[in-house]
Structure 1
């Protein structure tokens, strides 16, 4: 499988909090690849740096060192016209499906924005919007309605349709189902999987939930405190992980049996003593 996205030795530093605080390096030389038509699941707890990788790929977080290559070209520091051109090929779906949609625009206007930027004629744009709505399982009359008229799951489908509008090669999915209930999560994940099968789009899928990552990913990369600690096929990493931190993530999923849950909690505490707490958390959590 040929590589579409290549991240090599990426380092990102954020300013420290406070007037005299020192800058904080949140990524310590991270390397990963996403193949054509592949989903790479990027998993870790809050503060691990996983969303920073997605932001760097999108040009929203500047790299202090390392390179990001897309389709063979170095895009690490591109700006202006070239970055706008990249927006056609690299799209994003954010966590909150409502705040990412302009509440004053109709769904048709929201979906037409990336098409207008490409200079597509209005008649062709209308046809494309109808096609996008059908692709994400929404009725054709959705184009005339406002975001507030839709449920959370439907709004996320609209956000996915918007990301698909310019026919990108890569979509960065940053916690796209974490704000949804379990049944809606499953439907959105199935939708993303079906779209990938039809179009060949690649996903960099970011989540804190190992169960979600298992469902959607071909390969999985585990991030802990700005470093990659494990990577491999999804079925292996999400069922028999090698690294204690990944084992902790696996044990974090609750089970219905209280006895098993108590054993899992004790094992998770033991592993926390080996790896140390995640950023902002105590080892006892």
Structure 2
């Protein structure tokens, strides 16, 4: 099967702090790929560069060198207009459900926006919003309510619905459950798995938590100081990690009462 997303020898650097400070290299030759319908878990500690990979794929940070290819098209070579067109197939779920939604807009307006932007009529958008709310197990009257009326887990379901609105092929999930309590994390993760089974969407699942990544992923890439140090089948990486850093993550992983990803 051909990869849906391929990242090859990706380098990203940011300006250093202070006058004449040298640039800081955040990603150093990162390569990875994701097949259609597959979840690649990207795990590493804070500052490892994992979020930067997702942002580079989405075009939110500049790339110094390397290639990002999505569905056969070089994303690192397309302009802003084409990027907007590709947003139909490439979406994101951010970490914080409290800040990722506009507090002054109803849920219905938030979910309708990408649909109207794709040329759907207001009637078609309303119908689609009803289906999206049902898919993420929220009541139909949620469309007329504001984000502040929902819990953190419910807000993250709204964020998931927004990402699904225009039927993407790949969703970058950037620490999507780290701001939630353990019980709510389990609910949201189960929902993401259910949606993947129903739609065939692929995920790049970014997290610092190896236990959560194992539950979600078919394959796992471990990142340390801007480099992928281990990449393989989820069960193998988490059961018998080869790199010392991966073994350290495994020892540090908290107990998370979920089934093993080897059952996926």
Considering the TM-score relative to the shorter chain, is it more than 0.5? yes
* Cα distance in 2, alignment partners of residues 219 and 189 from structure 1: 16
Task: Confirm or deny that 1:178 pairs with 2:178.
Answer: yes
The SS at the match of 1:215 is helix
Matches within 5 A, 1:1-285: 1-254=1-254
Q: Secondary structure at the match of 2:239?
A: coil
How many angstroms does 1:79 deviate by? 2.5
Distance 1:73 1:224 in 2: 28
Q: How many residues align?
A: 256
Q: Work out the CA distance in 1 between the residues paired with 2:55 and 2:161.
A: 20
Give, in angstroms, the shift of residue 119 of structure 1.
0.7
Q: Determine the structure 2 residue equivalent to 1:263.
A: none
- What is the TM-score with the length of structure 2 in the denominator? 0.95
* Partners of 1:36 and 1:170 in 2: CA distance: 8
Q: Structure 1 CA distance, aligned partners of 2:97 and 2:110?
A: 13
Contact kept? 2:211, 2:254, Cα under 8 Å: no
In structure 2, how many angstroms separate the alpha carbons of the residues matched to 1:160 and 1:254?
Answer: 25
Cα offsets for 1:83-139 (capped at 9, x unmatched): 100111100000001101000000000000000100101111111000000000100
In structure 2, distance between residues paired with 1:158 and 1:98: 11
Q: Normalising by the residue count of structure 1, what TM-score does the alignment of the two structures yield?
A: 0.88
Q: CA RMSD in A?
A: 1.1
Return the index of the structure with the highest Cα Rg.
1
Deviation at 1:2, TM superposition (A): 2.2
**Cα distance, 1:13 vs. partner?**
0.7
Unaligned runs of 5+ in 1: 256-285
TM-superposed deviation, 1:238: 1.3
Alpha-carbon distance in 2 for matches of 1:137, 1:58: 28
CA-CA distance at 1:254 after TM superposition = 4.2
Hey, what does 1:259 align to over in structure 2? Answer: none
CA distance in 2, matches of 1:160, 1:77: 28
The answer as to whether partners of 1:59 and 1:77 remain within 8 angstroms in 2 is no
In structure 2, C-alpha distance between the alignment counterparts of 1:138 and 1:19, rounded to whole Å = 51
Once the two structures are TM-superposed, the CA of residue 21 in structure 1 deviates from its matched residue by 1.1
* 8 A Cα contact 1:62 1:77, kept in partner: no
Q: CA deviation at 1:20?
A: 2.0
Deviations 1:135-167 (A, max 9, x none): 001000000000000000000000000000011
The ranges of structure 1 where at least 4 consecutive aligned residues each deviate by more than 3 angstroms after the TM superposition are none
